[in-house]
Amino acid sequence: MNAGATVVPGSIHAYLQVMLTPDELERYARHIVLHEVGGPGQAALGRARVLVIGAGGLGAPVLLYLAAAGVGTLAVIDDDVVSLSNLQRQVIHATPDVGMPKVESAAALIRRLNPHVAVEQHRARLTAENALDLIGRYDIVADGSDNFTTRYLVSDACYFARKPLVTAALGPFDGTLTTIRAHERGTDGKPNPTYRCLFPEPPPPGTVPACAEAGILGALAGVIGSMAALEVIREIVGFGEGLVGRLVMLDARAMRFETLRYGWDPENPLSGEQPTIRDLAAAAQTAAPGAAEATGEAEADDRLPSTKGAARAPRG
């Protein structure tokens, strides 16, 4: 049954019992009483398969809140191990986990939090060779990666695999969040914008200081990561207005939110009128030439590149 389906009031209790076990009915009770979620929405969450890119500052709250929400299958890809400096913001890991692969540490906490969630671990680096196969196994992708090369790769792969993407990024005191459904068209008939419509190109290598050099406010990762989890839940259940074509920006110094609206760029190389990127091999060459490939935060940075033309779009 779809999330928007109608259930006869007199039969709703029996209907929920068929869908959910008594333990699940109690666990998700605060979701089920929400009209916008209800039993059908909770069932949709239970059927969903979500891939989270990175088990770091952003990936940690995304994984925790999606697990708590009852997402049926959570997958996480990360090739890094837990270090002591991670624990200031990567709340899915703990002191005894130092030295452990992040995917193992994350999976262990998810299982303790919600045994109904199936966890799939991918201790690997996302590459042009494995991205399509991996992303194709899941319904939606949440990108919490910490480097520009991976961010462009994920967005391009989601376009080719026709999968929705929720992508977030952090600076020392700022964060951003948007949703990409570039494989679909909007109500106006135009293609939805790609990540490359918003950020045409990454900054030159070496121009943006690494996280280890610039620092990052730990709680900020929790705020933006939780918002990313909320957007994934909204995409799965189908309530409200999504972030396609809208970039939410948080300035933590002023505690101010702004929304930047952006649209499809007919000159973008992925889905434009004359596309030049037709596979991930070509995409990888244009994403971030010479940029750091590692997922470790000492080598890479969480921040987004300049919006260039998108910065001229109206703010909502």
Domain boundaries, the chain: 9-47, 49-312
Helices (H), the chain: 12-19, 22-27, 29-32, 38-47, 59-69, 102-113, 131-135, 148-161, 195-198, 211-214, 218-237, 280-287
Please enumerate in sequence order all residues whose Cβ is within 8 A of that of 152, keeping only pairs 6 or more positions apart, or say none: 195, 196, 202, 283, 286, 287, 288
Q: Clarify whether 211 is annotated catalytic.
A: yes
**Separation between Cα atoms, residue 78 and residue 54, nearest integer Å:** 5
Name the DSSP class of 4: T
Kindly report the pTM of this predicted structure. Answer: 0.87
**Separation between Cα atoms, residue 243 and residue 245, nearest integer Å:** 6
Output phi, psi for 300, to 5 deg: -130, 170
Per-residue confidence in pLDDT tens, the chain, 316 aa: 444 444 444 444 544 544 788 999 999 999 999 999 999 999 999 999 999 999 999 999 999 999 999 999 999 999 999 999 999 999 999 999 999 999 999 999 999 999 999 999 999 999 999 999 999 999 999 999 988 899 999 999 999 999 999 999 999 999 999 999 999 999 999 999 999 999 998 887 777 777 777 889 999 999 999 999 999 999 999 999 999 999 999 999 999 999 999 999 999 999 999 999 998 887 766 665 443 333 333 333 444 443 434 433 333 3
| CATH number listed for the domain at residues 49-312 | 3.40.50.720
**Separation between Cα atoms, residue 265 and residue 281, nearest integer Å:** 22
User: CB-hemisphere CA count at 13 Å for 126?
Assistant: 36
**Token match 């890809």: residue?**
77
CA 163 from chain centre, in angstroms, equals: 12
* pLDDT for position 285: 67
**Separation between Cα atoms, residue 125 and residue 83, nearest integer Å:** 18
* pLDDT for position 204: 79
Active-site residue, from 50, 58, 142, 211: 211
Residues present in the chain in total: 316
Nearest to 239 by CA among 8, 25, 59, 38: 38
